[in-house]
Structure 1
Amino acid sequence: MKVGSKDLLLSLLKGTAVAWKHIDEDEFRRAIGGHNHALVAFIEPSTAASQALEPEWTSAIESETKGLMSIDCASTKSLCQEFGIISYPALRFFDGHGKMTSYRGPRRASSILSYLKRAVRPSVTALKSESKISKFQSGDDYAVIARINAQDPHIKILYEKVASQYKDRLSFGSVETTGATTVSCNNNRDGQQFTISDLTSINALPKLVESCLEPVIGEFTRANEMKYLQTGKSIVFYFVTSSQERDSYVSAMRSVAKMYKEYLSFVTVDAGEYGDLAAPLGLVPGAFPALSVQNPMFGQVFPYPRAKQITPEAVGGFLMDIVQGKVQPWDGTFATDAAGEHAHDEL
């Protein structure tokens, strides 16, 4: 069963079908030709990634019917080529004034809706009271607050520039202060806050934003694999078959990932799209969910025993056993169970 089909099946069983409701080329051109904003999903129905987006996009439209629309590139190829769509799904925001911007956030309903709110407001929101600051800080997955002293006009200019660059992924607010200028970024998704007061370096603000955006548990893809492989850290891979499964794992494993983040990178992997990565990590292809630890520096792999439940306590203990040398690296072979299926013995 392809990615996304599980969600479709569950919806059908409940009596509510999940399905794209595409607009045609004429409707699309009318939508972006006016002064109204639009976030458009360019999809190709046969791709696993487009199928995975389908239930999330449908859920977003149920909450916000205005400004969200989709195009089927299988039936409107020339249109998609005209707008430079080369991979699917591609999400593009049209601001109503002729500018198109790529959406780079998570392909989840909540993130899509948050982006749509950010996209239609100023890059920086002026905040006049502590109550507004508090509400603003908690109103998005990632929120930046700059308390800027009037004697630091250059920082205000730099802050506005950074906000314009990153507004698709974070909310930016500012408030005047008579004290020292400080900038804080709240990562509400992972419960982390980053604050800086030394803004002498021109890269200080971008570094703050990138640190804030870095998830405690990220999503491993072909596009970012080198970033993870070159950090020098070992990587804890968790293969999932649905967004719900991924979200449950992230929620449960976040505390463990925070504990080991200095030494380990925790990532999830879409088993439907990148299932071929499982075998080199000592995991049985198609047997998901599954977890494995890789040390790229020494070329070692430590598959998590299939017979054990994947819980924060068990995974934490498994990681400690690896550190203490109680678990040997995978030797490249698979054990065979009584039914003749590939399996890993208990370590």
Structure 2
Amino acid sequence: MKVGSIELLLSLLVGTAVAWEHTDEKEFRRAIGGHNHALVAFIEPSTAASQALEPEWTSAVESEKKALISIDCASTKSLCQEFGIISYPALRFFDGHGKMTSYRGPRRASSILSYLKRAVRPSITTLNSEAKLIKFQSRDDYAMIAQINAQDPHIKTAYEKLASQYRDRLSFGSVETSGATTVSCYNNRDGQQFTVSDLAGINALPQLIESCLEPVIGEFTRANEMKYLQTGKSLVFYFVTSSQEREPYVAAMRSVAKMYKEYLSFVTVDAGEYGDLAAPLGLVPGAFPALSVQNPMYGQVFPYPRGNQITPEAVGAFLMDIVQGKVQPWDGTFSSDAAGEHAHDEL
């Protein structure tokens, strides 16, 4: 599958997206004052993060209009201050009974809609049949299932605590067993399963969740920059200008990322928010989408040739050429053609 073709098709559809439709204070209080649940996006239109959320939020609204509300904090500052909003965007879930909970999951339409389904269910679903257990494994992007022996009440208590803490990102299920206690996590986005049976360590369950939630292709930001740079792995950066570019790339490149997972970290970068990272990676600023490979240990950068299609086969071959020494590291200069093209883009 060619990523470029998918990106072109989806880019044509972006213009059909609905813009923010903010709720005023009166409607907002009516919505959270009743017994209906609501997920509220408190945004400040001028911030880059709020602008990045807009297409994902409006896409989710098209599927679940009644339960999704947005508030423009630039025009209702006192209201946002009342609810303790200090950064934007802030997503808060109101359960209809006076309780407000922060949503900390991915800010993608699919993840937001999945969260709404989880939020109205019990924090842990009892799975009292094999059929329910099998169905539960694939009901969400991320699903945890604990098979707990009655002789391990401490594990049950720890599991309940984690379910309360992480229910904005995973679905939790449990079933009683007469055998050994085991806990499994299913990352259905990337087709991975993680299981632990040695639960003696205090961090066994949190580490299981962390491994499960770690995407095969992550999103590189200032906040997690050091985490990626300290793994000792080389990084494959892909700069995108929208989620409509990111999602097809992730879907197409997932198999390659899994193949090289032990040695490489595949990440996407929001070019609108972190476009300044492109030039140090040998990429022409403003010319996106674009891909580059960095070896932090040796300070080497290998920009993917501009004009070449970014497909799993082509990127896989490019990575092999780097390993075999067929591609030389970037020398820190741009060709005259690239410089001229950048100058043209800025006019």
Map 1:1-347 onto structure 2 (within 5 A). 10=13, 18-337=18-337, 340-341=340-341
Aligned length: 335
**CA deviation after TM superposition for structure 1 residue 195, in Å:** 0.7
What secondary structure sits across from 1:238 in the alignment?
Answer: strand
CA distance in 1, matches of 2:133, 2:58: 32
Q: Deviations over 1:253-297 (max 9, x none)?
A: 001101111111110011111111111111000101100111122
Q: Deviations over 1:221-268 (max 9, x none)?
A: 111111111111111100011212100000010011011111111100
Q: Deviations over 1:28-50 (max 9, x none)?
A: 22322334322101112233332
CA distance in 2, matches of 1:259, 1:166: 29
Q: Deviations over 1:51-76 (max 9, x none)?
A: 33223222222222232100011111
Asked if structure 2 preserves the Cα contact closer than 8 Å seen for 1:144 and 1:172, the reply is yes
Asked if structure 1 preserves the Cα contact closer than 8 Å seen for 2:50 and 2:89, the reply is yes
Instruction: State which drifts further: 86-95 or 121-130.
Output: 86-95
**CA deviation after TM superposition for structure 1 residue 11, in Å:** 5.6
What secondary structure sits across from 1:341 in the alignment?
Answer: helix
Aligned-residue RMSD, C-alpha: 2.1
CA distance in 2, matches of 1:322, 1:104: 37
CA distance in 1, matches of 2:13, 2:248: 18
CA distance in 2, matches of 1:262, 1:322: 16
**CA deviation after TM superposition for structure 1 residue 9, in Å:** 8.1
Shift in CA distance, 55/7, structure 1 to aligned 2, threshold 3 Å: farther
Asked if structure 1 preserves the Cα contact closer than 8 Å seen for 2:183 and 2:197, the reply is yes
Asked if structure 2 preserves the Cα contact closer than 8 Å seen for 1:124 and 1:172, the reply is yes
Asked if structure 2 preserves the Cα contact closer than 8 Å seen for 1:216 and 1:258, the reply is yes
TM-score (norm 2): 0.91
What secondary structure sits across from 1:56 in the alignment?
Answer: helix
Asked if structure 1 preserves the Cα contact closer than 8 Å seen for 2:140 and 2:171, the reply is yes
Q: Deviations over 1:109-133 (max 9, x none)?
A: 1110111111122111101111111
**CA deviation after TM superposition for structure 1 residue 8, in Å:** 9.8
Q: What's 1:3 paired with?
A: none
Identity %: 87
Which blocks of at least 5 consecutive residues in structure 1 are unaligned?
1-5
Asked if structure 2 preserves the Cα contact closer than 8 Å seen for 1:187 and 1:213, the reply is yes
Asked if structure 2 preserves the Cα contact closer than 8 Å seen for 1:335 and 1:342, the reply is no
Matched residue type, 2:284: V
What secondary structure sits across from 2:29 in the alignment?
Answer: helix
Shift in CA distance, 43/201, structure 1 to aligned 2, threshold 3 Å: same
Asked if structure 1 preserves the Cα contact closer than 8 Å seen for 2:237 and 2:268, the reply is yes
Shift in CA distance, 165/286, structure 1 to aligned 2, threshold 3 Å: same
TM-score (norm 1): 0.91
Structure 1 segments of 4+ aligned residues over 4 angstroms from their partners: 6-12
Shift in CA distance, 176/283, structure 1 to aligned 2, threshold 3 Å: same
Which blocks of at least 5 consecutive residues in structure 2 are unaligned?
1-8
What secondary structure sits across from 2:340 in the alignment?
Answer: coil
Shift in CA distance, 226/51, structure 1 to aligned 2, threshold 3 Å: same
Instruction: State which drifts further: 115-124 or 59-68.
Output: 59-68
Shift in CA distance, 339/92, structure 1 to aligned 2, threshold 3 Å: closer
What secondary structure sits across from 1:86 in the alignment?
Answer: coil
Asked if structure 2 preserves the Cα contact closer than 8 Å seen for 1:334 and 1:342, the reply is no
Greater RCO, 1 or 2 (C-alpha within 8 Å, sep 6+): 2
CA distance in 1, matches of 2:225, 2:213: 17
Asked if structure 1 preserves the Cα contact closer than 8 Å seen for 2:21 and 2:70, the reply is yes
Q: Deviations over 1:143-174 (max 9, x none)?
A: 01111111212111111111111111000000
